[in-house]
Amino acid sequence: MDKQRGFTLIELLVVIAIIALLMGILMPALQRVKKQARTVYCLSSLKQLGMAMTMYAGDNGDFIPRALDHEVKWILVFIPYLGQEYRKIEDYREVDVYQCPSFPRTGVGQYGQSNGEQTVDYVVNAWDMQDPGLSSGNQGNQMDRPTKLSNVKSPAQRIYMADNSAGDWRPVVRNRNQLDILSRFNYLDVWSRTHMPASDQTTSGSNLTRRISHDRHRGNGCNNLFFDGRADWLHRDENTSRYWCGAEY
């Protein structure tokens, strides 16, 4: 009776080498698929927020929330409009669509706080479209009160929300108390040219630093929700004040 022949060391090493080669070929493709899935999830979440915005307007005389520093905060009032499963939720941190899977969870934000604790992954348009103030010292004027959705001109070309930037100059919002404090200082709203994704102002402590991500999902741009409910990615050089206040200086 012949003895059962096993693998030799050379054969085993060849198999391991082949597996390693296949993994090396497949990993970049898998990473691209994973990144694309995160992008699609984020766009889907923004579309849900767009539907919530429209339904909220329908129940509130066509008014929609703008700046987070106002008592009508989008991140709180939109919860009941995001689906049956959220109707009884009081803590905004439990709302999955508020979390962008591509927001950096490594690194730190302002004051060395971990980006992994960030709970506000999107910034909102708080620009005064009637008086943009692009030539002012702040290079923009803020509208902190709810406005009528029907008063927004060219809603398909005006951005309502976009991916929040991440960096050591950006505040990390960990809970409702910090949300209330930071929103009073306008840190979570977009209303200046200096907040644009192509802005190079990243000095910690300034109220005029970049707020819109310049490198999310595909790199060199980010996802955006428009006032008409459409969600789309824009390159950072294209995403300028004309998409936010209708004017460019």
pLDDT at 62 > cutoff 90:
yes
Question: What confidence score (pLDDT) does residue 12 get?
Answer: 79
Percent of the chain with pLDDT over 70: 93
> Length of the chain, please?
249
Which residues share a beta bridge with 125?
190
**Taking the mean position of all CA atoms in its chain, how far away is CA 75?**
13
pLDDT digits (tens, 9 = 90+) for 127-181: 999 999 999 999 999 998 999 999 999 999 999 999 999 999 999 999 999 999 9
Please report which residue ranges of 120-238 form alpha helices under DSSP H.
176-184
Question: What confidence score (pLDDT) does residue 197 get?
Answer: 97
Of residues 18 and 54, the one with the higher pLDDT is 54
Q: What pLDDT band is residue 87 in, cutting at 50, 70 and 90?
A: confident
